[in-house]
């Protein structure tokens, strides 16, 4: 059984011999005596440290309140998602090993560092005794490095390194409490650690970036802007896949978005790359998104239907209607999840990742022209092209009626997505104008997404109404269908307002 939660934690260093300051604040006081633990953690990685490069940590820890296997995934500053499994044997649990395949590509996970920690924990509570935060004083000793030949190690195999640090972990406290405690420690002479984890400190500063720009990539060039964006999204694609395999909430959605970002960047900047390579990757990324689409679409639809039922004050059979939604959609969800899992485990997915890595290692840039021009000049032109494509599709949709109109709106939505991600790619170079365009294109995309979700929801209400086992439920689903139909006009009004802000093309610089 794998448990998951999001932790908010910040690590500090104190000058040697400096005592921990008084931690009590307004509304947060230390009430109990500190608790002391002896912890022993063995960290696992591949020989070339692919987990460390991705800021992922996998450890088996004995001692403390949460001994067991811990897998930590980065979520941004101070925040990580931690997954926990029981201690068990000293081999990596199969679910965790399978989840990390996008990073390890099947390489062996082996012990690389053993860390022993003498920990003193101070618990801060509110006036009612509810725990708000833990502050841990750690005396750390690295007693073993187990990967031979790694240049990233800060000590020889069998050697040792020692240091002291202080960790603040929020429990029920908020970010304001974290900042207050940080200020209190700062006033005592502490500073935020440069290392994201004990493992990274043990490995030293020689752990390189996940992707290193190829030689000769000029700063400020169109090539440089495209490479940096593709590198960031390729890394994100792998990270999101780990979350999908672990069943982390919203990971499927985020992985689809990342695949779409990569595909849009390749399409918008196709003249900068070998065309055959770019089109092949676009097609494979489209395939990957399609394999994940039904899982995400069913997630969205279940949330929408259940929310509508819960908000219907006249529903006579709310419980029965909600149960029918879950039962009916569950069958489709199981099939969709199986399809996605097969795709992620397939040689085709592995080949796609290998192709992306190859692209970053040796980019097939075109020999001159646009590829060596400044990023500002090239991206402005490419965005203008995407902008005009969007405007043409809007004009086509304005002329269509009936089913053809719905299909034309779908094409507008796709063009809005491409424009959004093109503007996102250009935001670091073109600044606020590109960011404003990204936001406006996203508004069009959302309005049309709501419109499409409404059409799909009505189809589900029709099916659920036909299959209902009571007259009350049939009537309830019919009423919700009517409400969705009535709301369709609102979505189109929102779409019209959003599209008017994007319709006219102009240069961004």
On whether both 151 and 70 belong to a single domain, the answer is: yes
On whether both 259 and 165 belong to a single domain, the answer is: no
On whether both 466 and 331 belong to a single domain, the answer is: no
Question: What sign does the dihedral 150-156-158-163 (CA atoms) show?
Answer: negative
On whether both 231 and 336 belong to a single domain, the answer is: yes
Most confident of 5-9, 78-82, 231-235: 231-235
On whether both 314 and 420 belong to a single domain, the answer is: no
Could you count the other beta carbons within 10 Å of the beta carbon of residue 355? Answer: 15
Give the pLDDT confidence score for residue 2 in this predicted structure. 65
On whether both 183 and 218 belong to a single domain, the answer is: no
- pLDDT confidence band for 316 (50 / 70 / 90): low
Give the pLDDT confidence score for residue 294 in this predicted structure. 92
| Domain range enclosing 149 | 3-203
How many angstroms separate the CA atoms of 54 and 361, rounded? 17
Quote the tokens at residue 166: 């202080």
How many angstroms separate the CA atoms of 129 and 131, rounded? 6
On whether both 90 and 143 belong to a single domain, the answer is: yes
Give the pLDDT confidence score for residue 505 in this predicted structure. 59
Residue pLDDT, tens place only, 193-226: 887 778 888 877 656 778 888 888 888 888 999 9
On whether both 391 and 350 belong to a single domain, the answer is: no
Quote the tokens at residue 491: 């979505």
Last residue of a domain, one of 356, 371, 386: 371
Give the pLDDT confidence score for residue 151 in this predicted structure. 42
On whether both 46 and 186 belong to a single domain, the answer is: yes
Residue-level length of the chain: 509
How many angstroms separate the CA atoms of 142 and 151, rounded? 17
Contact criterion met (CB below 8 Å) for 126 and 27: yes
How many angstroms separate the CA atoms of 197 and 79, rounded? 12
Whether 315 has a pLDDT exceeding 70, the answer reads no
On whether both 296 and 402 belong to a single domain, the answer is: no
How many angstroms separate the CA atoms of 279 and 171, rounded? 48
- pLDDT confidence band for 368 (50 / 70 / 90): low
How do beta strands 57-62 and 3-13 pair?
A: unpaired
The CATH number of the domain holding residue 168 is 2.40.320.10
Give the pLDDT confidence score for residue 99 in this predicted structure. 92
* Inter-axis angle of helices 251-268 and 222-246, nearest 10: 160
Residue pLDDT, tens place only, 114-141: 999 999 999 999 888 899 999 999 999 8
Per-residue pLDDT, averaged over 9-29, amounts to: 86
| pLDDT: which is higher, 140 or 368 | 140
Residue pLDDT, tens place only, 343-359: 999 999 999 999 999 99
On whether both 361 and 505 belong to a single domain, the answer is: no
Which neighbouring-strand residues pair with 41?
Answer: 61, 115
Give the pLDDT confidence score for residue 372 in this predicted structure. 60
Last residue of a domain, one of 354, 371, 388: 371
Weakest mean pLDDT among 82-91, 101-110, 274-283: 82-91
Whether 286 has a pLDDT exceeding 90, the answer reads yes
Weakest mean pLDDT among 121-135, 318-332, 495-509: 495-509
How many domains would you assign to the chain?
A: 3
How many angstroms separate the CA atoms of 249 and 244, rounded? 8
Contact criterion met (CB below 8 Å) for 416 and 445: yes
Whether 43 has a pLDDT exceeding 80, the answer reads yes
- pLDDT confidence band for 179 (50 / 70 / 90): very high
Task: Return mean pLDDT, the chain.
Answer: 88
pTM: 0.84
Most confident of 214-228, 243-257, 274-288, 354-368: 274-288
DSSP state of 365: B
- pLDDT confidence band for 144 (50 / 70 / 90): low
On whether both 225 and 76 belong to a single domain, the answer is: no
| pLDDT: which is higher, 4 or 372 | 4
Whether 153 has a pLDDT exceeding 60, the answer reads no
Give the pLDDT confidence score for residue 497 in this predicted structure. 93
Give the pLDDT confidence score for residue 25 in this predicted structure. 86
Which residues make Cβ contacts (< 8 Å) with residue 200, sequence separation at least 6? 52, 55, 207
Last residue of a domain, one of 341, 371, 401: 371
């Amino acid at each position: 059984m794998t448990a998951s939660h999001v932790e908010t934690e910040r690590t500090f260093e104190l000058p040697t011999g400096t005592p921990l300051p008084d931690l009590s604040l307004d509304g947060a006081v230390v009430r109990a005596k500190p608790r002391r633990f002896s912890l022993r953690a063995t960290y696992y990685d591949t020989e070339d440290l692919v987990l460390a490069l991705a800021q992922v940590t996998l450890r088996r820890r004995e001692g403390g309140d949460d001994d067991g296997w811990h897998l930590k995934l980065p979520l941004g500053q101070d925040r990580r998602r931690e997954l926990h499994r029981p201690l068990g044997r000293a081999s990596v649990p199969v679910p965790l090993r399978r989840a990390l395949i996008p990073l390890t590509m099947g390489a062996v996970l082996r012990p690389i560092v053993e860390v022993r920690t003498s920990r003193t924990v101070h618990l801060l509570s509110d006036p009612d005794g509810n725990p708000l935060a833990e502050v841990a004083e750690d005396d750390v000793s690295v007693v073993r490095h187990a990967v031979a030949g790694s240049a990233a190690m800060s000590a020889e195999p069998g050697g040792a390194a020692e240091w002291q640090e202080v960790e603040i972990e929020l429990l029920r406290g908020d970010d304001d409490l974290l900042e207050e405690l940080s200020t209190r420690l700062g006033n005592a002479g502490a500073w935020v650690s440069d290392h994201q984890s004990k493992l990274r400190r043990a490995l030293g500063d020689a752990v390189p970036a996940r992707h290193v720009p190829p030689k000769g990539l000029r700063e400020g060039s169109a090539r440089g802007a495209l490479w940096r964006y593709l590198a960031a999204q390729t890394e994100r694609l792998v990270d999101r896949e780990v979350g999908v395999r672990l069943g982390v909430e919203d990971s499927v959605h985020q992985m689809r978005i990342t695949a779409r970002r990569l595909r849009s960047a390749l399409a918008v900047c196709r003249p900068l790359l070998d065309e055959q390579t770019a089109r092949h990757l676009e097609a494979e990324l489209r395939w990957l998104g399609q394999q994940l689409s039904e899982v995400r679409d069913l997630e969205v639809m279940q949330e929408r239907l259940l929310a509508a039922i819960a908000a219907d004050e006249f529903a006579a059979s709310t419980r029965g209607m909600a149960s029918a939604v879950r039962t009916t959609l569950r069958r489709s969800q199981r099939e969709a999840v199986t399809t996605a899992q097969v795709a992620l485990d397939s040689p085709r997915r592995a080949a796609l990742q290998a192709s992306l890595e190859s692209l970053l290692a040796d980019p097939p840039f075109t020999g001159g022209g646009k590829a060596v021009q400044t990023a500002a000049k090239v991206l402005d032109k490419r965005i203008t092209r995407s902008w005009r494509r969007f405007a043409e599709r809007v004009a086509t949709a304005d002329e269509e009626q009936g089913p053809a109109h719905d299909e034309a709106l779908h094409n507008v939505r796709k063009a809005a997505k491409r424009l959004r991600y093109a503007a996102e790619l250009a935001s670091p170079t073109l600044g606020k104008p590109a960011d404003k365009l990204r936001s406006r294109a996203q508004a069009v995309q959302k309005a049309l997404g709501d419109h499409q979700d409404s059409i799909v929801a009505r189809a589900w209400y029709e099916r659920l109404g036909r299959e209902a086992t009571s007259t009350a439920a049939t009537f309830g689903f019919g009423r919700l269908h009517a409400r969705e139909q009535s709301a369709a006009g609102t979505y189109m009004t929102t779409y019209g307002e959003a599209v008017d802000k994007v319709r006219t093309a102009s240069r961004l610089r």
